[in-house]
Amino acid sequence: MKDQKLLSIVIPAYNVEQFLEECIESLLYVKLVNSTEILIIDDGSKDNTSAIADRYAKQYPKIIKVIHKQNGGHGSAINTGIAAAQGIYFKVVDGDDTVNPTAYDRYLKELQKIEIQGCDLVATPFTCMIYKTGKLKKVIKRQIQGTEKLPQKKILSFQDTAKFLHIRMHEWTIRTAILKEQKIVLSEHSFYVDMQYILFPIPWIKTICILPYFVYQYRLGEEQQSVSIKNMQKNREQHKNILFSLINFYKERERLGEKKEILFYLSKVIGKMEANHVQIILSLPIRKESKKELVFIERELKENCLAAYKIKEKRSLIWLRKSHYILYPIAAIVWRIIKK
């Protein structure tokens, strides 16, 4: 389509009135802004999020569209964005995060060239913006894991590079058609659906291009975030359910005879997520119930996704297994010492 937008930016927005303006502004002041569409998904916000979104949509009617919906969680907002997106490429920018306008401008220019060659996935590094009591305290640049020896600004076979890579959500730009044609749907009313978003499309990604621009700026340090340890403890049942959904996805792709490189990539990411779940359990009070939960998760992974179980991601987890979890109390104490 001649007039089709190059990029759909989907902004899941729930009660982000203090951050949303900064998020939107960071996306507007680039030369190629008219080649983008910004879809703000107001996920049943109870503050002024919807009013802010509507104001920007009225000011930029050819670029910004707002979709108001009942609250369904992050996955529901992304599902709505996938259904509405008209751009060739698709990227999620959470309402409390931003992009670096300079890097974003360069990225859009490169994306134009990449689109002509038909690339499926574009990966860009990101920046962690670490806040404390509302003030920016530290900025950390995160490179894309496994890309050190891979060429940049070139179209590569995803299958050939899968053994090296681990691409996180903030690094991820995908061809919209893959999400639509494969009917990618994320869990609703749940945190941690970013893991589904970056794994469910993997079997249909044929090509990848790695760009050097630090586009995404990820806000960290806010107590209400789902990645804070207190919230991960509270929401660990959701974390477990998402983990199991990925394991089931792996089993189905294995049953269908998926390529070994793709299965390895899936197992590697699932192994990382399970190791993170173990860390959550280690952060809980040291008691029999916590150990029982740890052993259950480990057994489920070993029985249902042995390839992920064999991923030697954390040395501490290897020793726990070798001790048949007798070292659980010591591991939990060490976790506390390290995190202080």
Q: What is the pLDDT of residues 190-246, one digit of tens each?
A: 999 999 999 999 999 999 999 999 999 999 876 555 557 788 888 999 999 999 999
pLDDT band at 54 (very low <50, low <70, confident <90, very high): very high
Closest by alpha carbon to 170, among 133, 148, 198? 198
pLDDT band at 128 (very low <50, low <70, confident <90, very high): very high
Per-residue pLDDT, 306: 96
- Contact, 78 vs 186, CB < 8 A? yes
**Domain 7-220 class, CATH top level:** alpha beta
Mean pLDDT of all residues in 176-192? 97
Q: What is the pLDDT of residues 79-116, one digit of tens each?
A: 999 999 999 999 999 999 999 999 999 999 999 999 88
> Cα 190–196–200 angle (5° rounding)?
150
Residue 87 is given by DSSP the state S
Per-residue pLDDT, 327: 94
Per-residue pLDDT, 315: 78
Per-residue pLDDT, 316: 80
* Both structure tokens of 289: 């119930």
Helix (H, G, I), strand (E, B) or coil at 245: helix
Q: What is the pLDDT of residues 69-78, one digit of tens each?
A: 999 999 999 9
- Contact, 111 vs 122, CB < 8 A? yes
Rounded CA-CA distance 314/326 in Å is: 17
Per-residue pLDDT, 3: 76
Q: What is the pLDDT of residues 284-332, one digit of tens each?
A: 999 999 999 999 999 999 999 999 999 876 778 889 999 999 999 999 9
Per-residue pLDDT, 231: 82
Residues 6+ apart with CB under 8 A from 323: none
Q: What is the pLDDT of residues 264-290, one digit of tens each?
A: 999 999 999 999 999 999 999 999 999
Percent of the chain with pLDDT over 70: 97
Residue 38 clears pLDDT 90, i.e. is over it: yes
Per-residue pLDDT, 223: 55
- Residue whose structure tokens are 């954390």: 314
Give this prediction's pTM. 0.93
Per-residue pLDDT, 107: 97
